Amino acid sequence: MLNPKLLDEMSARVSSLLAATPAGDVEKNLRAVLAGVFAKLDLVTREEFDVQREVLARTREKLAALEARVGELEARSQTSASSGAK
């Protein structure tokens, strides 16, 4: 049976060797390029998106309540105007 410590040690050595090769440099450069592209795209984080979604949901609820209230007030106004015209 293989010793788990031996496997971990081998994995660490392989990782360190790959980091020192041109493949490691390519990965670092690619990450830097992608980070630059994403910065230019003006993206938001998931947390910011979720916060704005919650704000929008609350705003929609308030708008629906205000629309209902305006509808009630208009109905009362029309009822009052009809009663007063008689």
Per-residue pLDDT of 9-49, as tens digits, reads 878 887 777 777 776 677 778 888 888 887 788 878 899 99
86 pLDDT above the threshold of 60 = no
Distance CA 84, CA 77 (A): 10
CB 24 within 8 A of CB 18: yes
Cα–Cα separations (whole angstroms), residue 12 to 8, 17, 21, 26: 6, 9, 15, 19
Percent of the chain with pLDDT over 70: 88
Give the confidence band of 85 by pLDDT, cuts at 50, 70, 90.
low
Report, as an integer, the average pLDDT of 43-67. 96
Q: DSSP 3-state assignment of 49? A: helix
Average pLDDT value for the chain: 84
